[in-house]
Amino acid sequence: MPVWVEAEYEIAPDEKLGEKGKEIMMKYLTPEDIDLEKDEGKFNRILPASVEAPPAAHRVLTESPAYVPEVSPELIQQTEEKLENSPCKELFSPCTKSVLDHLSGEPFQEYLNSMYFDRFLQWKWLERQPVTKNTFRQYRVLGKGGFGERLQVQEPDVREAAFH
Of the two residues 17 and 42, the one the predictor is more confident about is 17
10 Å Cβ neighbour count for 33? 17
Superfamily of structural domain 3-30+67-115: Regulator of G-protein Signalling 4, domain 2 (1.10.167.10)
**Element of type H or E holding 139:** strand 137-145
The pTM (predicted TM-score) of the whole model is 0.56
Q: How confident is the model at residue 1 (pLDDT cuts 50, 70, 90)?
A: low
Q: What is the pLDDT of residues 42-54, one digit of tens each?
A: 333 444 444 454 4
Look at residue 54 in the predicted model and tell me its pLDDT: 46
Domain ranges within the chain, ordered by starting residue = 3-30+67-115, 133-163
Select, from the ranges 9-13, 49-53, 68-72, 77-81, the one with the highest average predicted confidence (pLDDT).
77-81
Q: What angle do CA 14, 16, 17 make, to 5 degrees?
A: 65
